[in-house]
A = this chain, B = another copy of it.
Amino acid sequence: MLIDFWYEFASTYSYPAAMRVERAAAEAGVELRWRPFLLAPIFGGQGWSDSPFNIYPAKGRYMWRDLGRICAAQGLVLKEPVRFPQNGLKAARIALVGADEGWIAPFSRAVYLANFAGQKDISDDAVLAGILTELGLDADAAMARSQTPDNKTRLRAQTDEAIAKGVFGAPSFTVPGAGGDELFWGNDRLEDAIRWARRS
């Protein structure tokens, strides 16, 4: 019983998903894998050079209102980010280091809080180093490792894997199965994905 959680640090609805996914999976007894990836190559393939929430203003206005309702219901602070979308590349590379070293979950949550509650620039090295230090980690070592060619390649490969699984937005959840992965898109689908994993 396994679920892959595909997320991008710039993604608005990934914020409430990231803040609740670990507890939801644990309560259901489902193993969880944190899978950061990048939306830019996917959106680029759809002809978008910006977030669809910026390209389509009515959709964007609704999204912020809807996200506000969701965060309020979940007890999460939501403040207008310093810019939208932010560049989550460095944070995603660091998260992959955290996947190996066992701190990807708290690091990812801290990055989302910095972006959507703390009004911090998550592409700023000092902000990322601060998050790592707060978690009791060696920030310099983690950031150095995140910038190795191997780790950069790994993030590209993970994005390619997401695309191969049919992922077109974030957050997404995939549940491995005999007939291929079952895809669920959106914070709203977390519970469905967990149910699917439990019956697989």
Contacts and interface: CB of A to CB of B under 8 A. Distances in A.
Contacts of A185: 62, 66
A65 interface: yes
Contacts of A189: 66
A33 to B, nearest CB: 20
Contacts of A69: 192
A199 to B, nearest CB: 12
Interface residues of A, number: 20
Contacts of A167: 58
A59 B168 contact: yes
Number of identical monomers bound together in the oligomeric complex: 2
A183 B58 CA distance: 11
A188 B163 CA distance: 25
Interface in A161-178: 163, 166-169
Contacts of A163: 58
12 contacts: A56-B168, A58-B163, A58-B167, A58-B168, A59-B168, A61-B166, A62-B166, A65-B183, A66-B184, A66-B185, A66-B189, A188-B188
Interface of A: 46, 56, 58-59, 61-62, 65-66, 69, 163, 166-169, 183-185, 188-189, 192
